[in-house]
Structure 1
Amino acid sequence: MLSPRSLFQEIVDHDETFRLFCSIAAGGEAQGGWENGRIAALVPPRERGLAPKIARHGADEDKHGRIFRALLRKRGLEPVPVPPETDYTMLLERRGIGLPHDRLRTDEPLTVEDLVVYLAHSRVTEQRACEQMRLLCRHFGDHPGIGRTVRMIADDEDNHLAYCPEELLRLAAAGYGRTIQRTLHACALAEIRVHRDVSLAVMSRMGRILGWSAARSALLAAGIHAVYAYERLVGRRRMVTLRMPERRAALGGPAGPAPEFA
């Protein structure tokens, strides 16, 4: 039976697919940690209150990257280079989504408009991350090998998703509403396309390693295309809607000490 649980179980049970999965995840989290760290350092003076929250976000992403690498070490595996076609973060940047890395490598302070771009990008991508982690929690939250890790990362992602709308609503009240909505819609359209392309690339590589039949690979690809069509028509609304979150001040300050278990 083809289900999310059986599919992911197959990936987790095979060393080479698990190695690829963790390497892709660790690379993306490490990149996110660097980006958030640089943005926190470049926050303009009038928005300095946002800097600790962004720094906390970056620290969480760095922690997640270390955890995925620890999962590999626990299995006696080494990371592999991330295939370019599976590099979600860099593919988004190439589509002009988020703040360019060249900009983040300078010491010039960001503008409030730059922060809108950053927060809109985070709002959209954290929606995806939360949904993926909730799916993993549903099927693997009690897994003896990765369950604790999945639950902890899922809780962090919920915090990240909570603070983005809260800060965007604050900036909307300060007069940036139209800019925020325009940026959110552009980010969402680009993200769903990149997510489709990355999903197809990852499944193709997993299928080759696991020896999937052509019929099974075609069925999975059709499912990915169907999700993309739905999201392009109506599903992306969940990414651009702004509501005050139940978790207020979810990233209110520096992260406290937390066990980095794997």
Structure 2
Amino acid sequence: MLSARSLFHEIHDHDEAFRLFCSIAAKGEDQGGWENGRISRLVDDQWLAPRIARHGADEDKHGRIFNALLHKRGLGPVEVPESTDYTMILERQGIGLAHSRLRRDEPLTEADVITYLAHSRVTEQRAAEQMRLLRRVFGEHPEIGRAVRMISADEDNHLAYCHEELLRLAAAGHGRQILRTLQDTARAEIRTYRDVSLAVMAHMGAILRWPRAKSAALAAGIHGVFGYERLGGWHRMTTLRMPARLDALGGPAAHESLA
């Protein structure tokens, strides 16, 4: 039976598929770590800067965790295909703060901060959902369960932080700009997630030698998710609510341990 559980276990149990999966994940986390690190140094907000830095430290930690999972299997990372690079595909569409902007040593404006937080709120929604799925599948797995639980908890904290900070800015009079930016970001994100998911599944199918019918069924499922999101599911990425845990990033990043 074709299910998320069976699919993820198939990828986990095959060295080359697992290698590609972890390499894609590690690259995305490394990019997020660099971006947040740069933003924390450019933002002129003494409350926000250390929380952005903590976010970046968490992302760097996640990249190390995925690489450590490969190392434990005696594997090394592989080059990530451009078609699976979610972060850079979003940037090429003008979503979030461009790397060229972050490389300039110029303080970020309030509009820049709203762009950053809206981008983070949408992409962290996706990350939190994906990690909750992996936690359901692998949460008690002896090899990767601890890593999955750790990353999932961090992603939940990142999402909570984005909600809280955007609500703080909305209360300061930026509500319309925030909503508009969230909507533009979410519409672009659902298209990008569809395209990247199709690309990842195509590469996995080639590695795992999936029959044509299986690949077609998975592609249909991806298009089905996109259809749901395009018709209204994307709105979950644009709503804001005060999280149960306040100041979720108000402290140092926890060190990873996969022992």
Query: Which category of TM-score, normalised to the shorter sequence, fits these structures?
Result: over 0.9
Match for 2:258 among 253, 257, 261? 261
How far the C-alpha of 1:253 sits from its partner, in A, is: 2.8
* Within-5 A mapping of 1:206-221: 206-221=204-219
TM-score with structure 2 setting the length: 0.99
Supply the RMSD in Å over aligned alpha carbons: 0.8
SS of equivalent residue, structure 1 residue 20 = helix
Q: Percent identity?
A: 73
Q: CA–CA distance in 2 between the matches of 1:139 and 1:83?
A: 26
Q: What runs of 5+ residues in structure 2 fail to find an aligned partner?
A: none
In the other structure, the counterpart of 2:125 is 127
Runs (4 or more) in structure 1 with deviation over 6 Å come to none
Partner of 2:194: 196
Superposition map of 1:1-262 within 5 A: 1-44=1-44, 47-255=45-253, 257-261=254-258
Aligned residues: 259
The normalised TM-score by structure 1 is: 0.97
The DSSP-based 3-state class of the residue aligned with 2:232 is: helix
Does the 8 Å CA contact 2:61/2:255 hold for their aligned counterparts? no
Deviations 1:131-184 (A, max 9, x none): 000001111100111000000000000000000010000001111110000000
Report how far residue 203 of structure 1 moved. 0.2
Deviation at 1:234, TM superposition (A): 1.0
Separation in structure 1 between the aligned mates of residue 255 and residue 99 of structure 2, nearest angstrom: 29
Instruction: Kindly provide the CA deviation profile for residues 187-246 of structure 1, in whole angstroms up to 9, marking residues without a partner as x.
Output: 000000000000000000000111101111000000000100100111111100000001
Letter in 1 for 2:69: L
- Contact 2:42–2:106, Cα closer than 8 Å, also in 1: yes
1:254 CA drift (Å): 2.6
How far has the Cα of 1:130 moved from its partner? 0.4
Determine the C-alpha separation between the residues in 1 that align with 2:252 and 2:102.
Answer: 21
Conserved in 1, the CA contact under 8 Å of 2:61 and 2:256?
Answer: no
Distance of 1:259 and 1:10 partners within structure 2? 26
CA contact (8 A) 1:55 1:254 kept: no
CA distance in 1, matches of 2:104, 2:195: 31
**In structure 1, how many angstroms separate the alpha carbons of the residues matched to 2:110 and 2:8?**
41
Distance in 2, Cα, partners of 1:245 & 1:120: 16
TM-superposed deviation, 1:260? 3.0
Structure 1, residues 110-133: CA drift from partner, whole Å, max 9, x if none? 001100000000000000000000
